[in-house]
A and B are shown apart, each in its own frame.
Chain A
Amino acid sequence: MSEKTAAKKAADVSPVRLDVRKTYKLYIGGAFPRSESGRSYQVSGADGTFLANAALASRKDARDAVAKARGAFSGWSGATAYLRGQILYRVAEMLEGRRAQFVAELRAVEGLSAKQAEAQVDAAIDRWVWYAGWTDKIGQIRSSANPVAGPYWNVSSPEPTGVVAVFAPERPALLGLVSVLAPAIAVGNTAVLVAPDSAALPAISLAEVLATSDLPGGVVNILTGRSAELGKPLADHLDVDALDLAGIADAEFATSLEQAAAENLKRVLRPSSAPTDWNAAPGTTRLTAFLETKTVWHPIGA
């Protein structure tokens, strides 16, 4: 077969360019590893079509993520509130730049119309902006100079709790995830986020946004997989300081996780008893849920 004939034949078989598909992996410690278990699962769209294979996180991945989150805590909680605000705002900027990608993913994953998907991405971007602005204000509204009855300087101020395991709600896939993740890290906690298996695409695309926003590795770790499998090891883990159970829909399972959390007195944000409107103004509940109050005394005298 002559060269000319071969080229012609190839052109006949693939008249258009083959697209390059993305591999969806985990996000741990600033890197994108596959699950150590080697497992993956198929993510299907709202219409049942195959969208991608995603990494199915294991217990070991969860433990690795906790170790990275713990390692990042000192730096992130010690960073200035101004810097944390800058970085969260940078996340909003990066997300804005990838708007089209997220719209496409949400249309595929949730079966939304273009308008609905755009509205959700806009709300998610705006939520990062809202929380970016909170980083250097929450300390002021939660602090107090306490007028004690004696010659003492006495001041209370909030500090982050530590490592928070966050179970993101399944829907809205992007806005729900941002609504639980952003407040936890805005105040200086580090997070291990469990994205529901059906939300893997926007979750890992968000990880790419985070990875390019100057957010230090380990501050956010994202596991795609099953909360039924990852919930218990995270609720049991003694180096996890708090749980946000927003995404745990099964009340009995949520109770069992809260019971496990009692072992080291984790702070637990229970799933809401009523359906949550994630589009509503979030208030400060999620900012203050994972804050501790420290009170410092010092005598006043010459």
Chain B
Amino acid sequence: MGIFDYAPAPESRAIVDIRPSYGLFIGGEFVPATGGTFKSVNPANEDVLAEIGEASAADVDRAVAAARKAYAEVWSRMPGAERAKYLFRIARIIQERARELAVLESIDNGKPIRETRDVDVPLVAAHFFHYAGWADKLEFAGYGPVTPQGGSMSAVPRALGVAAQVIPWNFPLLMLAWKIAPALACGNTVVLKPAETTPLTALLFAEICQQAELPAGVVNIITGAGETGAALVAHPGVDKVAFTGSTNVGRAIARTVAGSRKKLTLELGGKAANIVFDDAPIDQAVEGVIDSIFFNQGQVCCAGSRLLVQESIQDELLDALRRRMGTLRLGDPLDKNTDVGAINSAEQLARITELTAAGEAEGAERWSPPCELPAQGFWFAPTIFTNVSATHRIAREEIFGPVLSVLTFRTPDEAIAKANNTPYGLSAGVWTEKGSRILSMAKRLRAGVVWANTFNKFDPTSPFGGYKESGYGREGGLHGLEGYLDV
């Protein structure tokens, strides 16, 4: 240990109380699942955290029926101002229980406590707070007066009904907030399925709904794997499907809902380009690159997984980047000094390992800082590849891990051509001091979010979502209402 090394500073996990087993949250109470059970594991040490109920098709049926009943009898009749107060109440409880949620999220997902504490959970509370205020202001959102198909003219846009929501494991609670807050604000009821590997914060959220005395059935949480999710989105009793996850599953869902009247929003994969011009402030750009690919271990759909650096500053930038990567601290997610936590699952680790092996096999040059990986759990060292060509798999496929592929360009036109040369279009980054160049790059990049001289920033008022095969629909702000209204 050198003199400038950090002493361990672990956050106490005493604040969380994980039950040995969990049922499904249907109609306001926890009920046993009839499809069996599975285990949720701490990815940092492979300890079993709890036994989780697997929802069968019959359970899905029950959950949809509970949501329908709550929609018809309670939630659709409640004035927006009252719905708003429930959402404000939920936002407040999340703030009050923030520490507990942050620790639990870190344990179940493997992400550093620094991120769950400072990013995930504050954004969750903010998201509920933002959409709470929309619930009684929908007629001002710019959609009305509207005439829904087969309906009569209405000044207030109407809810769709029951929303089926399937979310991923990379931001478990934040994705729950992105789904549930706008759905409820618009007057829908929901059945939400968290990811198989990260159900615990969603189940704690169910308790928060109970604390808030949210009417039974307005929020239903069912746990399970892909089969449960498939049964949920295919259920004839749902009016809306919202999914965040891989492009392949998104495609399958789009096929499933084809020909129905279900409204669909999809937030899928990405392969974002982060473009650094020769006039960019190098230190800021390096911090931005670090944040773009190592935030949440790179398990981020909008991660800047392709670094496009202007050829003239390649050496300088990469030297600085390697130096900075050498200071990243990988290890115990609950340690407040940890920068890089655990990979979420053995499956994801296997995928990252396979793709990086393909990178080497195809001739790209691999580098990681000296980095000791814990013996237990799922870990992957921060990695960059240089000498990457646009045809390499690591330049085309979403790795969803702490792996950066570096490509170079000479002119803005070449940067645009390379950045847009992907079926994805979720996000992009631009680093330059020249204002007119930022605006022209932002205009020409085919991506739903463009971060200029920053990266991976999120806010409940800021619409998020993709172009092309990164999906459709927006989450956040005014734009996020559209997916939950009959407009």
Residues of chain A having any CB pair with chain B under 8 Å: 141, 144, 146-150, 152, 154, 156, 161, 241, 251-252, 254-256, 258-259, 261-265, 267-268, 270, 272-274, 292-299
Contacts and interface: CB of A to CB of B under 8 A. Distances in A.
Contact of A251 (B252, B259, B464, B478): B259
B230 interface: no
Contacts of A295: 448-450, 462-464
Nearest to B123: A149
B468 A265 contact: yes
B173 interface: no
A261 B250 CA distance: 12
A293 B463 contact: yes
A133 to B, nearest CB: 18
Contacts of A150: 457, 459
A285 to B, nearest CB: 8
B448 A296 contact: no
A147 B461 contact: yes
Given A149-B126, A150-B459, A265-B250, A294 B453 contact: no
Interface in B421-460: 423, 438, 442, 447-454, 457, 459
A259 B478 CA distance: 29
Contact of B474 (A161, A241, A293): A293
Nearest to B147: A283
B247 to A, nearest CB: 7
Nearest to B479: A293
A154 B453 contact: no
A261 B423 contact: no
Contacts of A255: 258-259
B461 A148 contact: yes
B137 interface: no
Given A152-B457, A259-B255, A296-B442, A274 B449 contact: no
Contact of B149 (A161, A252, A256, A273): A273
Contacts of A156: 462-463, 477, 479
B465 interface: yes
Contact of A258 (B247, B251, B258): B258
B448 A267 contact: no
Given A251-B259, A254-B259, A262-B251, A297 B479 contact: no
Contact of A292 (B251, B448, B450): B448
A103 B479 CA distance: 42
B467 interface: yes
A238 to B, nearest CB: 8
A85 to B, nearest CB: 19
Interface residues of B, number: 43
B150 interface: yes
A262 B469 contact: no
Contacts of A148: 457, 459, 461-462
A156 B450 CA distance: 10
A241 B454 CA distance: 29
B142 interface: yes
A77 to B, nearest CB: 10
Given A273-B150, A295-B449, A298-B438, 11 more contacts: A146-B459, A152-B454, A152-B459, A156-B462, A254-B259, A259-B258, A264-B469, A292-B472, A297-B449, A297-B454, A298-B454
B109 to A, nearest CB: 24
Contacts of A263: 251
22 contacts: A146-B461, A146-B463, A147-B461, A150-B457, A154-B459, A154-B462, A156-B462, A256-B258, A259-B258, A262-B252, A264-B468, A265-B250, A265-B251, A265-B468, A267-B472, A270-B259, A272-B149, A273-B150, A273-B261, A293-B448, A294-B450, A295-B449
A293 to B, nearest CB: 5
B471 interface: yes
B453 A265 contact: no
B214 interface: no
A299 B453 contact: yes
Given A148-B459, A295-B464, A298-B438, A262 B254 contact: yes
Given A259-B255, A292-B448, A265 B126 contact: no
Nearest to B469: A265
Contact of A265 (B261, B451, B472): B472
Nearest to B252: A262
A180 to B, nearest CB: 17
A299 B429 CA distance: 13
B215 to A, nearest CB: 30
A211 to B, nearest CB: 29
B268 interface: yes
Given A255-B259, A273-B261, A296 B452 contact: yes
A298 B448 CA distance: 15
A261 B451 CA distance: 30
A144 B423 CA distance: 27
B209 interface: no
A262 B243 CA distance: 14
A286 to B, nearest CB: 13
Contacts of B457: 148, 150, 152, 297
A299 to B, nearest CB: 5
B266 interface: yes
A149 B459 contact: yes
Nearest to B462: A146
Contact of B423 (A141, A264, A274, A296): A264
Contacts of A147: 461
A236 to B, nearest CB: 13
A163 B266 CA distance: 20
Nearest to B447: A294
A265 B257 CA distance: 13
Given A146-B459, A156-B462, A298-B438, A274 B454 contact: no
B448 A258 contact: no
Q: Which 7 A-B pairs have the closest CB atoms?
A: A255-B259, A262-B254, A258-B258, A148-B459, A259-B258, A146-B461, A298-B452
B361 to A, nearest CB: 27
A297 B450 contact: yes
A268 B251 CA distance: 13
Contacts of A141: 142
Contacts of B462: 146, 148, 154, 156, 295, 297
A128 B113 CA distance: 57
A144 B472 contact: no
Given A149-B459, A255-B258, A265-B268, A297 B451 contact: yes
